[in-house]
Amino acid sequence: MKKMSGLFIVLFILSVTGSWMQELSKPEKNFEHLWKTMDEEYGIFLPKRVDWDLLYKVYRPKVTPETTDEELFDILAQMLGHLNDNHVHLRSPFKSFGAGILQEIEREGFSRSLIQEKFLKNKFEERLKGRFIFGFVNESIGYFHFGGFMGLKQSAEVVDEIVETFKDCKGLIIDIRNNGGGDDRVGKAIADRFADKKRLYMTTQIRSGPNHDDFKPPKYFYVEPGGPRQFTKPIILLIHRHSISAADNFAMAMRTLPHVTLVGETTSGCQADQHGARLPNGWHFSVSYTLFVDQDGFCWEGIGIPPDLRQINRHEDINNGRDKPLELAIELINSGALKKRAELPKFPIIKE
């Protein structure tokens, strides 16, 4: 008997696969499309220890030709929810879903108007249509908040002005609470204004291949002195759960600097780049297709960058005119007791 040619085998497999897909109902096709797209492109299965094949076995039987759109949406959302990824979304004409913790928690504990009125005494500067505000909380401590990472050149120029303004301060408070993220290049440029020397802070890789550990070669990100002047005296970086995406990565860069202390709550824990995709029925979903790790190779996805000193602020605090993380930051700098991270004792490694 003659052997089938390689081309014939490929065509045979494609025809069988095509026939199988054609036999699937619309709900089944949409499930298969989403599952397969994530299987081939999602970049964070391994550090999150997500068994995507196991989830297929759990959720695929729930989809039948009789599954309604509403039921299908809920099934897909339940499956995606296990990824614990604030960058993964599913949107239909009748409902939207986010697969991370941010959809479950209220945005609270931060009021820029309170800071402007009480802590800056309404003596502050605004730049880039209010994206940046900055001023003195007292004669020796500067403060600035920015709400997003957009406009590389413009943002770098503003931060250069801020560094020049606060050059004689004994400490600086940088606030990225309620920062929705943006361009990581902007975050690096800002962090460079506070760097004492070049340090690796992040490595990224793009998912590329059928296996969950198939990636393109890594790209390395360094924080290094940039701009006409760098501020390397004590810095407090204020963070919380709604410090998102590029703000996560900015916090990761700043925490490598020995003169920076993070205060507040853990950041959002969504760092990877994402792209949009569409189901056959027109619904939109997003895929985190990169892997981001810190200088030690640890992935903070789904966890968030932790503060060095945890301090919570709630609605009732704001209503009572309090910003506890900012108050703590001021006390820490005023104390004059902040030590560079390199001077802190290292945790001993226990050996067998």
42 pLDDT above the threshold of 90: yes
**Number of folded domains that form the chain:** 1
Distance CA 114, CA 8 (A): 71
175 pLDDT above the threshold of 90: yes
Q: How far apart are the first and last CA of the chain?
A: 64
Q: Any idea what the Cα angle at residue 196 is, between residues 191 and 197, rounded to 5°?
A: 95
For the segment 258-263, the average pLDDT, to the nearest whole number, is 96
Say if 42 falls within a structural domain: no
For the segment 101-105, the average pLDDT, to the nearest whole number, is 85
Say if 64 falls within a structural domain: no
Distance CA 17, CA 110 (A): 53
Say if 332 falls within a structural domain: yes
For residue 104, the model assigns a pLDDT of: 82
Q: Which residue has the higher pLDDT, 337 or 344?
A: 337
Say if 237 falls within a structural domain: yes
Say if 284 falls within a structural domain: no
* Residue of 189, 193, 186, 191 lying closest to 228 (CA atoms): 193
248 pLDDT above the threshold of 60: yes
Say if 68 falls within a structural domain: no
Strand residues in 139-294 grouped as ranges (E) = 141-146, 171-175, 199-206, 219-223, 235-239, 260-264, 274-278, 284-288, 290-294
For residue 17, the model assigns a pLDDT of: 43
pLDDT tens-place string over residues 267-277 = 999 999 999 99
Distance CA 203, CA 153 (A): 23
DSSP-based three-state secondary structure for 109: coil
Average model confidence (pLDDT) for the chain? 91
What is 328-349 written as a DSSP string?
HHHHHHHHT----GGGSPPPPP
For residue 4, the model assigns a pLDDT of: 40
Say if 149 falls within a structural domain: yes
Q: Which residues pair with 135 in a beta bridge?
A: 143
308 pLDDT above the threshold of 50: yes
**Domain CATH for 315:** 3.90.226.10
pLDDT tens-place string over residues 281-307 = 999 999 999 999 999 999 999 999 999
For the segment 24-48, the average pLDDT, to the nearest whole number, is 96
For residue 253, the model assigns a pLDDT of: 97
Residue pair 43/206 in contact (Cβ under 8 Å)? The answer is yes
19 pLDDT above the threshold of 50: no
For residue 322, the model assigns a pLDDT of: 96
H helix or E strand, kind and range, residue 85: strand 85-91
Say if 299 falls within a structural domain: yes
Structural domain boundaries enclosing 250: 112-272+289-338
For residue 8, the model assigns a pLDDT of: 44
257 pLDDT above the threshold of 70: yes
